[in-house]
Amino acid sequence: MGGSAGGHLSLMVAMVPEKFDDGGPTPGLEGVSASVCGAFSWIPPTDLVRFWKQGPSDEVIAADGTKTFRHWNDNIPNDARPHLRSLFHGVSPDAKEGEALYARMSPMGHVRKDIPPVMICDGEHDPIVPGLQGKALHEKLKAIGADSTYWMSPNGHDFPAGDGFGELANRFLDMIFKPRP
């Protein structure tokens, strides 16, 4: 479970195939399954290509025409590009190769029916991960018959809240942690 970047990671752990080419297991963990019983994710970026495209430009053009990139700014809503550019070592999804990398590193790039149950929560007033990315992933999962639960929180980039959230979360967590025969 996790929120924001941690929400992205919790979904990736639940959704990537067991044989995901990520460089191999940590030494000493060879043969240990990475499968999980479920994932609870709030305010996650689920589609990094979309996240990039929704963010404002981070390019800075000097008077001499030299192009540089600015750092992330807390005062700019959805200022995803500086973060993503840093995380992907300068690679952007503007070219096909970069777009394929961003898709591969997104939960949206791993939608399939046979994932463990997931619970995804968006923040109605989230200035950091806008556009209901969690809802888009949930709808795509439900369309193929995967076990996905969704909650729209009335707050922003925070832990989910609202009338009924506690009961829904408890049911979800009870379901995924219930011993299976």
- pLDDT category of residue 65 using cuts at 50, 70 and 90: very high
Check whether residue 58 and residue 100 sit in a common domain: yes
Ranking 45-49, 74-78, 141-145 by mean pLDDT, the lowest is: 74-78
Check whether residue 84 and residue 120 sit in a common domain: no
Q: What is the CATH number of the domain that holds 14?
A: 3.40.50.1820
For residue 9, being part of any structural domain is answered with yes
Claim: this prediction has a pTM higher than 0.85:
yes
pLDDT given at position 139: 97
**Paired tokens of 90:** 């300068």
For residue 84, being part of any structural domain is answered with yes
Cα radius of gyration rounded to whole Å, the chain: 18
pLDDT given at position 131: 75
Model confidence at 117: pLDDT above 90:
yes
* Contact assessment for residue 57 and residue 67, using Cβ atoms and an 8 Å cutoff: no
- Domains: count for the chain: 2
Q: Which range marks the domain in which residue 89 is found?
A: 48-105
Check whether residue 84 and residue 59 sit in a common domain: yes
For residue 31, being part of any structural domain is answered with no
Q: What is the mean pLDDT of residues 108-133?
A: 93
For residue 78, being part of any structural domain is answered with yes
Which segment, 18-22, 116-120, 127-131, is predicted with the most confidence on average?
116-120
Q: What is the distance between the alpha carbons of residues 159 and 61, in angstroms, rounded to a whole number?
A: 38
Check whether residue 117 and residue 88 sit in a common domain: no
Q: What is the mean pLDDT of residues 27-55?
A: 91
Check whether residue 123 and residue 43 sit in a common domain: yes
Q: What is the mean pLDDT of residues 128-139?
A: 91
